[in-house]
């Protein structure tokens, strides 16, 4: 008997109005700067558009960044003399979570909108509306007697603007999340905001506590009457929401350098073997303190490996079968801590991670020390009567920023 399987697919199409939305990426980068090791800040990587592109000097002096979006707000009826025209931006802090795409670690970012602006376009030249040419015509078009260079409270003016006979470009700072209102002194048949400009401020986590990689997250604002970006009840936008997509790029440094010849470590008494031979007194220490240079901007861990070991320590040996233990410890430069304290002669154990170690600022090629010490028991064994030859061994130190 043949089995037949029949698959039927059904499609149901409904005519629904599509919600319009706009997305904007905001990108910031952290890279350690050797010239400013204490500067633990993200640097904005999003190109300016809109207001700050037109007035770069003004924005540079106030450390402002702006974005211009192709969002248009149109009046839905004539504006009569005495009507209010109001703007409101989401000036309060908003929190969002950004997640490292590799490690899945999460951090909190805060954002607020610090300014809003546009270029509004009138249905007629301002001279046709008021009987007076620009720029004075733009001033008397509103009951305040001033143009939109001067922002109504609680907004604050940015100090610069530009105009045409039928248009006016402005930008207002928004210290508070509240309406800022102008009142029309003449009838305006129609008016629209050509684009939506806004400036923003970020609160980012301390990048020294973050792993390398890209952290991403989003926050969504509503647009239109009653929304986050509200241009008044008479103005409808052609997009209903704005999503800011944040990308924080963390590029850490972890680099360890040995001075020339530093990979060959010879253990000997203080002052060398000649002093022991000449004095006849057994040395109390046989050791070597090996200098290294470390550059680090994020937490890291360290592991000790060796080709011959017993328990948690490494051994040195010879072909005849003699062996003895060597202890390995580490000291790190100031600015790098473990469990909140300085790292001074911290023991390293075979095949076990030690750490994490946390830089409090970017450490750029600062000296640390690997300490190799023989125990008193090992010294007695090494220097027992009749003993001779060399004991050798390989020790590997692994530094890993993937904590």
What is the sign, positive or negative, of the torsion defined by CA atoms of 88, 91, 97, 102? positive
CA pair distance 379, 284, nearest whole angstrom? 8
3-state secondary structure at position 277: helix
Q: What is the pLDDT of residue 400?
A: 92
CA pair distance 90, 93, nearest whole angstrom? 8
Q: What is the pLDDT of residue 120?
A: 97
Q: What is the pLDDT of residue 230?
A: 98
**Strand 323-331 vs strand 346-347: parallel, antiparallel, or unpaired?**
antiparallel
pLDDT digits (tens, 9 = 90+) for 188-206: 999 999 999 999 989 999 9
Domain spans of the chain, in order of start: 21-250, 254-400
Residues (pLDDT < 50) of the chain are 1-19
Q: What is the pLDDT of residue 318?
A: 78
What is the sign, positive or negative, of the torsion defined by CA atoms of 261, 267, 271, 273? negative
Q: What is the pLDDT of residue 320?
A: 73
Side-chain-side CA neighbours of 150 within 13 Å: the count stands at 10
What is the pTM (predicted TM-score) of this model? Answer: 0.79
Q: What is the pLDDT of residue 402?
A: 67
Q: What is the pLDDT of residue 387?
A: 62
Short-list 31, 54, 49, CA closest to 41: 31
Q: What is the pLDDT of residue 18?
A: 44
In angstroms, what CA-CA distances link 101 with 216, 217, 248, 352, 392? Answer: 7, 10, 11, 27, 44
Q: What is the pLDDT of residue 58?
A: 82
Domain covering 254-400 in this structure, CATH number: 2.60.40
């Amino acid at each position: 008997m043949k089995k037949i399987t029949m698959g039927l697919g059904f499609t149901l199409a409904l005519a629904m109005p599509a919600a319009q939305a706009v997305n904007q990426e905001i990108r910031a980068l952290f890279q350690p700067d050797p010239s400013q090791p204490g500067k633990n800040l993200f640097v904005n990587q999003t190109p300016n558009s809109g207001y700050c592109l037109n007035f770069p000097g003004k924005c540079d002096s106030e450390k402002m960044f702006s974005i211009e979006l192709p969002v248009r707000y149109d009046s839905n009826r004539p504006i009569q003399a005495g009507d209010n025209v109001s703007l409101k931006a989401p000036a309060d802090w908003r929190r969002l979570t950004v997640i490292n795409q590799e490690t899945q670690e999460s951090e909190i970012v805060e954002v607020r909108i610090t300014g809003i602006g546009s270029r509004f376009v009138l249905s007629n030249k301002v001279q046709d509306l008021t009987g007076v040419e620009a720029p004075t015509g733009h001033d008397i078009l509103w009951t305040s007697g001033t143009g939109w260079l001067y922002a109504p409270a609680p907004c604050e003016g940015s100090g610069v603007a530009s105009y045409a006979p039928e248009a006016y470009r402005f930008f207002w700072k928004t210290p508070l999340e509240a309406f800022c209102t102008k009142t029309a002194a003449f009838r305006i048949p129609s008016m629209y905001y050509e684009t939506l400009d806004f400036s923003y401020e970020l609160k980012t986590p301390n990048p020294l506590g973050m792993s390398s990689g890209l952290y991403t997250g989003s926050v969504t604002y509503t647009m239109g009457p009653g929304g986050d970006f509200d241009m008044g009840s008479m103005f409808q936008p052609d997009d209903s929401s704005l999503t800011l997509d944040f990308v924080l790029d963390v590029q850490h440094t972890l680099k360890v350098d040995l001075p020339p010849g530093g990979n060959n470590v010879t253990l000997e008494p203080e002052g060398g073997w000649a002093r022991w031979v000449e004095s006849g007194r057994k040395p109390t220490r046989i050791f070597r303190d090996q200098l290294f240079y470390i550059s680090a901007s994020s937490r890291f861990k360290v592991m000790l490996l060796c080709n011959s070991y017993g328990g948690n320590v490494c051994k040195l040996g010879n072909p005849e079968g003699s062996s003895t233990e060597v202890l390995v410890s580490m000291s790190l430069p100031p600015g790098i801590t473990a469990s909140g304290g300085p790292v001074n002669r911290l023991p390293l154990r075979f095949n076990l991670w030690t750490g994490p170690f946390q830089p409090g600022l970017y450490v750029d090629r600062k000296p640390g020390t690997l300490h190799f010490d023989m125990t008193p028991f090992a010294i007695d064994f090494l220097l027992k009567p009749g003993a001779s030859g060399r004991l050798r061994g390989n020790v590997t130190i692994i530094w890993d920023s993937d904590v």
